[in-house]
C-alpha cells in the first residue's frame, strides 16, 4: 500500500491532468515549505527519561498562517504528517478561510502515558517548536488523540516562552482558555451541512440510512447530528468493535453503553460486526470518521453505500476512489466534508485576535453559509470539468492558492 503522502501526490497529479495549472506551480506544491522533526525528552514518572519523536510540517502559507492539528499516535510518521499538511492547505482554500496548511504529530500511544507524562510531552513539543509557531505564523489544533486540555497546556507553555497573551497560537482550546463555542461538534456539524447542501443533487432520499466508522469526536458528533435531523444511523464502530441495527440505533443509549462497558460490543438489540463489515453495509451514506486508508483496492468493490462522506482524513486510497467512481458511488471528499473543524478553528483564532466571544449560535450561523458555498462551488467545478467532487475540490483550492501565490 502507498503511504498517505504518495496518495496525496497522486491526487495532485490527477488534478493537474484535468486542469492545467502550470508545471512550476504544481512542482511548488509537491514539497512542503518545510518539514521539521524533533526529539522530545520527557521525564517519566519512574524518574527515567524517554525520548519521543515529534513533527511539524508547514506545507503552504499562500492564503495565511499555516494551520493544522497535532496527532498523537504510535503509527504517526513524517509521510503521514506531510500528507495531512498538504490536505490542510487544500482544505483551508476550499473552505475559503485565510489560512495555509500545516500539521504536526508525535509518535506515541498516549494511552500508555500518565496524565503528568502526557502534559510534559505536550509542553516539550511546544518548547522545541516555539520559534516557528505564532498567531501570524503557524497555528496548531487538536487531531487524533489530542484534546482541548492538551491545547490548554500548549497555549500556556507558548505564553510562558514568548509572552504572547492572545492565545491565538492554538485553537481547539477549552472555552475557559480562549476556545470557541461550537468547536467540539464543528467537524461533524460541518460535514452534515455539506451533506445536506448536496443531498438532493446526489440523488439521496430525505431520510437516509447512515453507517459511521469511528465514534470519537468527529464520528460521535456526526452520529448524533444525523440522528437529530431524522436520518437513521444504522451502524457505528470504534477501534475495538462495530454494531449494526437496521432500523436505527438509539445513540443516547449507545453512548451510555460505551460509558458503562467501555465499548460498543453487545449493545442490546444490535448485531456485533467487524469494522470491515461496517464499510460494506448496504446504506445510503457511509461515513468513515476514524482513520486513513480504510477503503482500498481490496474492499472498494464491496462498498454498497450510494454516497461516501469522508469525515476522516484520507480514508479512501486513490485506486479505491476510481473503483467507487466506476461503480457510480459519489464521494464527498475529506477536504470539503471535514472542513467545518478548521473553519471554526479559524473563528476561534479570529475571536482571540479581536478579543471577542461569539455564542454557539453565532458560530453555527457563520459556519452554515460557508459550508454551503464550499459544497456548491465544488459541485459546480466538478460538473464543469466532468469529474468527481474530489477533483472539483482540488480544482477550486488550487485556483485560490495559485491566485494568491501569483
Ligand atoms: P478521535 O480520536 O476522537 O476518534 C477516533 C475514533 O476512531 C475513535 O472512536 C476510535 O475508537 C476509532 N478508531 C480508532 N482506530 C480505529 C480502527 N482501526 N477502526 C475503526 N475505528 C477506529 O479522533 P477524531 O478527532 O474524531 O478524528 C477522526 C478522523 O477525523 C481523523 O481522520 C481526523 O484526522 C479527522 N478529522 C478530525 C477533525 C477534528 O476536528 N477532530 C477535523 C478534521 C478531520
pLDDT digit string, tens, across residues 215-232? 998 999 999 999 999 999
- Ligand 1 centre distance from Cα of residue 188 (Å): 11
Q: Name the maximum alpha-carbon separation found in the chain.
A: 62
pLDDT digit string, tens, across residues 283-339? 999 999 998 889 999 999 999 999 999 999 889 998 999 999 999 999 999 999 999
Supply 389's cell numbers: 467532487
Q: Which of 99, 140, 144 to mutate to test the pocket of ligand 1 (most atoms within 8 A of CB)?
A: 144
- Ligand 1 centre distance from Cα of residue 287 (Å): 11
Q: Where are the beta strands (DSSP E) in 271-374?
A: 271-273, 285-288, 307-309, 330-332
- Predicted model pTM: 0.93
Strand partners, 73: 107
Supply 358's cell numbers: 461569539
- Angle at alpha carbon of residue 157, lines to 86 and 127, rounded to 5°: 60
- Ligand 1 centre distance from Cα of residue 218 (Å): 6
Strand partners, 67: 101, 139
For the cut 90, the answer to whether the pLDDT of residue 2 exceeds it is no
What is the average per-residue pLDDT within 8-34?
Answer: 95
C-beta of 235 in contact with ligand 1 (< 6 A)? no
Distance CA 55, CA 166 (A): 24
103 flagged as catalytic: yes
Check 103, 245, 258, 306 and give the catalytic one: 103
Q: Are 71 and 351 in contact (CB under 8 A)?
A: no
- Ligand 1 centre distance from Cα of residue 180 (Å): 21
Percent of the chain with pLDDT over 90: 95
Strands 285-288 and 209-213: parallel
pLDDT digit string, tens, across residues 70-92? 999 999 999 999 999 999 999 99
What is the average per-residue pLDDT within 227-250?
Answer: 97
C-beta of 275 in contact with ligand 1 (< 6 A)? yes
For the cut 80, the answer to whether the pLDDT of residue 176 exceeds it is yes
- Ligand 1 centre distance from Cα of residue 165 (Å): 31
Index of the ligand 1 atom closest to the CA of residue 242 = 20
Supply 112's cell numbers: 500508555
Q: Which of 94, 217, 332 to mutate to test the pocket of ligand 1 (most atoms within 8 A of CB)?
A: 217
Which pLDDT belongs to residue 1?
60
C-beta of 145 in contact with ligand 1 (< 6 A)? yes
Residue nearest to atom 37 of ligand 1 (CA): 143
- Ligand 1 centre distance from Cα of residue 237 (Å): 11
The separation between the first and the last C-alpha atoms of the chain, rounded to the nearest angstrom, is 36
Rg of the chain on CA atoms, in Å: 20
Q: Which of 214, 239, 272 to mutate to test the pocket of ligand 1 (most atoms within 8 A of CB)?
A: 214
Amino acid at each position: 500500500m502507498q503511504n498517505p503522502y504518495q496518495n496525496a501526490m497522486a491526487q495532485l497529479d490527477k488534478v493537474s491532468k484535468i486542469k492545467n495549472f502550470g508545471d512550476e506551480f504544481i512542482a511548488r506544491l509537491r514539497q512542503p515549505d518545510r518539514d521539521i522533526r524533533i526529539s522530545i525528552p520527557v521525564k517519566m514518572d519512574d524518574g527515567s527519561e524517554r525520548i519521543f519523536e515529534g513533527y511539524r510540517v508547514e506545507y503552504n502559507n499562500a492564503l495565511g498562517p499555516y494551520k493544522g492539528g497535532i496527532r498523537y499516535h504510535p503509527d504517526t510518521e513524517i509521510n503521514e504528517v506531510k500528507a495531512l499538511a498538504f490536505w490542510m492547505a487544500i482544505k483551508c482554500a476550499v473552505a475559503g478561510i485565510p489560512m495555509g496548511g500545516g500539521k504536526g504529530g508525535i509518535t506515541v500511544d498516549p494511552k500508555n502515558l500518565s496524565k503528568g507524562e502526557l502534559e510534559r510531552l505536550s509542553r516539550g513539543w511546544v518548547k522545541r517548536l516555539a520559534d516557528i509557531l505564532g498567531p501570524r505564523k503557524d497555528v496548531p489544533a487538536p487531531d487524533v488523540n489530542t484534546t482541548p486540555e492538551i491545547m490548554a497546556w500548549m497555549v500556556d507553555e507558548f505564553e510562558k516562552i514568548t509572552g504572547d497573551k492572545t492565545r491565538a497560537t492554538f485553537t481547539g482550546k477549552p472555552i475557559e482558555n480562549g476556545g470557541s463555542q461550537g468547536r467540539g461538534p464543528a467537524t461533524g456539524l460541518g460535514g452534515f451541512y455539506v451533506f445536506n447542501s448536496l443531498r438532493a443533487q446526489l440523488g439521496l432520499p430525505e431520510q437516509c440510512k447512515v453507517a459511521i466508522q469511528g465514534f470519537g469526536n468527529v464520528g460521535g458528533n456526526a452520529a448524533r447530528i444525523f440522528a437529530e435531523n431524522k436520518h437513521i444511523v444504522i451502524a457505528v464502530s470504534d477501534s475495538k468493535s462495530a454494531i449494526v441495527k437496521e432500523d436505527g440505533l438509539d445513540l443516547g443509549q449507545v453512548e451510555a453503553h460505551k460509558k458503562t462497558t467501555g465499548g460498543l460490543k453487545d449493545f442490546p438489540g444490535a448485531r456485533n460486526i467487524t469494522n470491515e463489515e461496517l464499510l460494506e453495509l448496504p446504506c445510503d451514506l457511509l461515513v468513515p470518521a476514524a482513520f486513513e486508508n480504510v477503503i482500498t483496492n481490496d474492499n472498494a468493490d464491496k462498498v454498497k453505500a450510494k454516497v461516501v462522506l469522508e469525515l476522516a482524513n484520507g480514508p479512501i486510497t486513490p485506486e479505491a476512489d476510481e473503483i467507487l467512481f466506476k461503480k457510480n458511488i459519489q464521494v464527498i471528499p475529506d477536504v470539503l466534508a471535514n472542513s467545518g473543524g478548521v473553519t471554526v478553528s479559524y473563528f476561534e483564532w479570529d475571536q482571540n485576535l479581536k478579543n471577542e466571544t461569539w455564542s454557539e449560535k453565532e458560530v453555527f450561523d457563520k459556519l452554515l453559509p460557508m459550508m454551503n458555498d464550499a459544497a456548491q462551488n465544488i459541485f459546480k467545478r466538478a460538473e464543469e470539468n466532468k469529474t468527481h467532487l474530489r477533483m472539483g475540490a482540488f480544482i477550486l483550492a488550487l485556483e485560490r492558492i495559485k491566485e494568491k501565490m501569483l
